[in-house]
Chain A
Amino acid sequence: MSFDYDKYIRPGKLPHIWCPGCGHGIVMKGLIRAIDACGLKKEETAIVSGIGCASRLPGYMDCCTLHTAHGRAAAFATGVKMARPEMNVILVGGDGDGTAIGGNHFIHACRRNINMTYIILNNKIYGMTGGQFSPATPTGAKASTTPYGNPDPAFDIAKLAIGAGATFVARGTAFHANQIDKLITEAIQHKGFSVVEILDDCPTTYGRRNKFKSVVEMMNHLKDIAVPVKAAEKMSPEQLQGKVLTGVLHKEEKPEYTEQYAQVIERAQAAK
Chain B
Amino acid sequence: MEKKLPTIEIIEKYCKGCHICVEFCPTKVLEMKGFVASVKNLEACIKCMQCELRCPDFAIKVTP
A interface residues with partner B (beta carbon < 8 Å): 1-3, 5, 9, 14-16, 18-26, 29, 174-175, 177-178, 214-216, 219
- Do residues B62 and A21 form an inter-chain contact, with CB atoms below 8 A? no
Interface bin, chain B: 20 to 34
Contacts of A22 in B (CB 8 A): 56
- Do residues B50 and A177 form an inter-chain contact, with CB atoms below 8 A? yes
How many pairs of residues, A versus B, come closer than 8 Å at their CB atoms?
Answer: 65
* CB within 8 Å for A15 and B54 given contacts A1-B64, A21-B20, A216-B23: no
Complex partner residue of A177 from B9, B54, B58, B63, CB under 8 angstroms: B54
- Could you list 19 A-B pairs, sorted by A, with CB under 8 Å? A2-B9, A2-B63, A3-B52, A5-B58, A14-B58, A15-B13, A16-B58, A18-B56, A21-B56, A22-B56, A25-B55, A26-B55, A177-B50, A178-B49, A178-B53, A215-B20, A216-B20, A219-B23, A219-B24
Residue of A nearest to B62 (CB): A2
With A and B bound together, what is the CA distance between A178 and B48 in angstroms?
11
Residue of A nearest to B13 (CB): A15
B interface residues with partner A (beta carbon < 8 Å): 9, 13-14, 16-20, 23-24, 49-50, 52-58, 61-64
